[in-house]
């Protein structure tokens, strides 16, 4: 049973890694904001399609199809085999869905499918198709 299905338009961004820094004798860590706009778009699209204010419960299946911008400089296949990695793209989406309270905890995701493709037609826009099912 499909619990939620939606499209997020925009160029998918990966979850950035935590960075460490040192200032004199003090050290710290921070997460770059490179994916903040993308994650906000995911939250907005999810909440626009969510029919219930209650978080999804139980085990969940999440299918993500990322459509990446096609390079103008050369002809490429359908599959996007360069960075960003599919797992880092998926992590950003899962974090955004958790922030939107779509589910209680992303540990509920027991089946995750993520694929990366280039857009196929000039009229097709980059983005991500999201399908969440309760198992």
**Residue 40: what pLDDT?**
95
What is the pLDDT tens value at each position of the chain, 135 positions in all?
678 999 999 999 998 877 777 888 888 876 767 789 999 999 999 999 987 778 999 999 999 999 999 887 767 788 999 999 999 999 999 999 999 999 999 999 999 999 999 998 766 899 999 999 999
Q: DSSP per residue over 45-60, as a string?
A: HHHHH---SSPB-S-E
**Residue 108: what pLDDT?**
96
């Amino acid at each position: 049973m499909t619990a939620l299905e939606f499209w997020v338009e925009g160029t998918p961004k990966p979850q950035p890694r935590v960075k460490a820094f040192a200032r004199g004798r003090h050290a710290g860590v921070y997460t770059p904001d490179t994916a903040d706009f993308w994650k906000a778009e995911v939250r907005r699209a999810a909440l626009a399609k969510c029919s219930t204010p209650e978080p999804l419960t139980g085990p969940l299946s999440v299918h993500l199809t990322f459509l990446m911008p096609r390079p103008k400089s050369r002809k490429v296949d359908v599959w996007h085999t360069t960075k960003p990695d599919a797992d880092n793209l998926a992590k950003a989406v899962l974090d955004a869905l958790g922030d939107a309270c779509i589910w209680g905890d992303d540990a509920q995701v027991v089946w995750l499918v993520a694929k990366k493709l280039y857009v196929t037609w000039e009229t097709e826009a980059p983005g991500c198709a999201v399908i969440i099912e309760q198992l």
